[in-house]
Amino acid sequence: MGDSDSDRSYLEIKKSAYEDMGDPQMTEHVHGDDDPELDELVSLNFKISERERREFKVWCASRGFTQVQVFKMGFRALKSKEEKTE
């Protein structure tokens, strides 16, 4: 999995930017949607192969991210990309 220096630098910048943001929510609050229970962490249940699970865990850990951080970053990136194409 040969990461280039530029890939590693990019990830370090992304990690720094993520840490600067704190731990933002993946979604914005909608007016009238101020129930604090909606911000509590809950399990998200879906199945992936053991190979994918291991790869994801190793990738996150090797870059100093938690799995939750990477999931949130990925979700935000996909939403942002989709909004730009609309």
Contact in structure between 51 and 2 (CB atoms under 8 Å): no
d(CA 37, CA 58): 31
Domain ranges in the chain are: 48-86
Query: Would you state the pLDDT for residue 35?
Result: 83
Instruction: Inform me whether the pLDDT recorded for 30 exceeds 70.
Output: no
Is the pLDDT assigned to residue 36 strictly greater than 70?
yes
pLDDT at 10: 63
